[in-house]
């Protein structure tokens, strides 16, 4: 094992897959000369050349559309979008084409496409560049949506996504790039569609994904010092959604909190909560709680931005009220 940052884990996954499979290439805005908006593809142009690390025009629909065509033609493109907010400009390509071509051509066409995008808040990028839009894309059958929280998962899930024959939207939270974690030095995959227990507990189940996993773990640490044992479940993949570890944990704790950076209304947390109600209603000791982003466009001001997103303190208070 080696201790590396989330950014390096993503870069290592890309490099290793490009060395392993000559069909893999990267395309996007400033991925080559500039090295990516968040320096993930830094120095890769020098290593692989401009045929495999391709700078593109500022045109997200064209980037993803070209990626779809390349994937249908037998390549394995990795398209980088500066932010998932710009994925709205490519939504027709993602939703009406990438997600549906395999089905509409009766399995004769595969679209092994990965679209990497940065999501979430915390960098004072204001309302149109700080959104958590994963629910929009996770709603679409045929499109896989992955949101890793740790360097280990970031590398393993990206390698799995590149090898997958289906289109995968791979969302990286901008605040996770500097965090460090242990990652195997050899080749490994993290399966898409498998949730993970990040911390075991017996009193309350806290469900989260992406950066909110770290908020949940901070809350669990605080709660543990106060005698409340919290189990933290990281969804990792939003479609396909693996609820089995969540249900198993809830049947043990009988209490659940969903922590999400997206908006509460119609959010991922609503789907998680209703599935718990449907599958484990008899184990319910209290209503399921959702800690979610404020129902406002993301503010620019740093103090207001911080207030718009759940904190460890919010989760701790929710857990204490829930358990009584």
Q: Is 179 helix (H, G, I), strand (E, B) or coil?
A: coil
Mean pLDDT to the nearest integer, 95-100:
98
Q: Is 135 helix (H, G, I), strand (E, B) or coil?
A: helix
Q: Residue for token digits 């915390």?
A: 122
Q: Residue for token digits 């990795």?
A: 78
Closest CA relative to residue 280, chosen from 312, 255, 307? 255
Q: Is 290 helix (H, G, I), strand (E, B) or coil?
A: strand
Q: Give catalytic status of residue 97 as yes or no.
A: no
Q: Are residues 202 and 160 in the same domain?
A: no
Q: Are residues 169 and 211 in the same domain?
A: no
Task: Please give the distance of CA 310 from its chain centroid, rounded to a whole number.
Answer: 17
For a pLDDT cut of 90, what percent of the chain falls above it? 99
Task: Please give the distance of CA 264 from its chain centroid, rounded to a whole number.
Answer: 17
- Supply the range of the domain harboring residue 208: 196-323
pLDDT tens digits, residue range 132-145? Answer: 999 999 999 999 99
- Last residue of a domain, which of 138, 154, 183? 183
pLDDT tens digits, residue range 123-135? Answer: 999 999 999 999 9
Catalytic residue among 60, 134, 172, 260: 60
| Rounded Cα–Cα distance for residues 39 and 142 (Å) | 30
Over the range 292-313, which residues count as b (16 or more CB within 10 Å of their CB) and which as e?
bbeeeebbeeeeebeebbbebe
> What total number of domains does the chain contain?
2
pLDDT tens digits, residue range 60-81? Answer: 999 999 999 999 999 999 999 9
Task: Please give the distance of CA 199 from its chain centroid, rounded to a whole number.
Answer: 19
Q: Are residues 214 and 142 in the same domain?
A: no
Catalytic residue among 80, 97, 102, 129: 129
Would the pLDDT of 324 be above 90? no
pLDDT tens digits, residue range 180-236? Answer: 999 999 999 999 999 999 999 999 999 999 999 999 999 999 999 999 999 999 999
- Last residue of a domain, which of 117, 152, 183? 183
Question: Would you tell me how many other CB atoms lie within 10 Å of the CB of residue 75?
Answer: 17
Q: Give catalytic status of residue 60 as yes or no.
A: yes
């Amino acid at each position: 094992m080696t201790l590396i940052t989330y950014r390096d884990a993503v870069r290592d996954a890309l490099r290793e897959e490009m060395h392993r499979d000559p069909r893999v290439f990267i395309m996007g805005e400033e991925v080559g000369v500039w090295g990516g908006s968040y320096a993930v593809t830094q120095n890769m142009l020098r290593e692989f050349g401009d045929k495999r690390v391709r700078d593109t025009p500022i045109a997200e629909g064209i980037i993803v559309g070209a990626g779809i065509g390349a994937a249908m033609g037998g390549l394995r493109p990795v398209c980088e979008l500066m932010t998932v907010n710009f994925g709205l400009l490519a939504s027709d390509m993602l939703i009406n084409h990438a997600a549906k071509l395999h089905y509409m051509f009766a399995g004769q066409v595969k679209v092994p496409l990965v679209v990497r995008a940065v999501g979430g808040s915390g960098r004072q990028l204001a309302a149109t560049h700080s959104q958590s839009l994963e629910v929009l894309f996770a709603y679409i059958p045929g499109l896989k949506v992955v949101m890793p929280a740790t360097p280990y998962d970031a590398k393993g899930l990206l390698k799995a996504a590149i090898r997958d024959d289906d289109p995968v939207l791979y969302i990286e939270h901008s605040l996770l790039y500097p965090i460090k974690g242990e990652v195997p030095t050899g080749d490994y995959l993290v399966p898409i569609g498998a949730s993970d227990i990040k911390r075991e507990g017996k009193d309350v189940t806290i469900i989260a994904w992406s950066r909110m996993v770290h908020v949940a773990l901070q809350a669990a640490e605080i709660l543990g010092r106060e005698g409340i044992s919290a189990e933290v479940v990281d969804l990792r993949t939003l479609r396909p959604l693996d609820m089995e570890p969540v249900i198993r944990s809830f049947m043990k704790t009988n209490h659940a909190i969903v922590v999400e950076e997206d908006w509460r209304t119609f959010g991922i947390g609503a789907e998680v909560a209703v599935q718990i109600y449907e599958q484990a209603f008899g184990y319910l000791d209290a209503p399921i709680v959702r800690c979610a982003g404020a129902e406002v466009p993301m503010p620019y001001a740093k103090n207001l931005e911080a207030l718009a997103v759940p904190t460890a303190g919010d989760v701790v208070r929710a857990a204490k009220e829930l358990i009584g």
